[in-house]
Amino acid sequence: MSVIDRSFPSEKDLKFPRICAHRGYSAAAPENSMAAYHAAVNNGAGEIELDVRFTKDGFPVSIHDDFLERISNGTGTVQEHTLEELKKLDFGIKFSPDYAGTRIDTLEDILAEFSRRTIINMHIKSLGPVYPEDYFRKIVALIKKYDAAEHIYFMATPEIQQLAAKIIPEIPRCMSADAGKWEIVDNAIKYNCQKVQFFVPCWNQEMIDKAHDHGLQCNLYFCDEPADVARIFDMGIDTILTNDYLPIAKAAKEYLANK
């Protein structure tokens, strides 16, 4: 039986620039699925992004959309269904018949498999102006259970950032563009974040420079065109999020080789 290597560099130690596999290698496998995360990590991804929402019975699961229709054969919202009900749905058939039967994964499933094997950009999806503290504490409990604190940062809106700063301040925080795409740098400064995640097309050189002047690292969501990688890194972006991991990672490797 092989032993999984969990000695990956921490968020603090992993060098920039980076490529982050958005929702896993989501061009190769259903987004936010174990298959997509395996495809990314097995191909060398130093960082993966995942989305977290809660079921009706209080389990954190890996899914981007509030509604189920786009990526599954279910209907309605995630929070209208128990975990048992969601486990009966197919989250792969709409991506490809090859992935028919793919089931939703819990955050615990993912941390059990990938903790300390890569950096996790954990996008905690907003639930409105107030995020339930008991939900956030469940996420924190799982992070601690799987010794993942040094390999995670939270990407979220201000109400969640404030909870994170209060409950587990040692984990870095990345401001989401959902709170204001053009105001993202000001929001990150206001809420004492360590990163910003720009949303294409709402970004420019002035915003990057201001972020760096305030000690903020800069993510960009997203780039799937290898020809754009050098320009984006030259502008000062620290981490590119991509749906198509391998071509973008190859372009990044070539960029670094020519520096």
Catalytic positions:
22, 64
H helices, E strands: number in the chain: 9, 9
Torsion sign (Cα): 186, 205, 243, 39: negative
b/e code 46-81 from CB counts within 10 Å (16+ = b): bbbbbbbbbbeeebbbbbbbeebeebbebeeebeeb
Taking the alpha carbons at both ends of the chain, their separation in whole angstroms is 41
**DSSP one-letter string for 99-151:** GTT----BHHHHHHHHTTTSEEEEEE---SSS--HHHHHHHHHHHHHTT-GGG
CA angle 133, 195, 238 (to 5 degrees): 145
**Rounded distance between C-alpha atoms, residue 176 and residue 234, angstroms:** 22
What is the CA 225 to chain-centroid distance, rounded?
Answer: 20
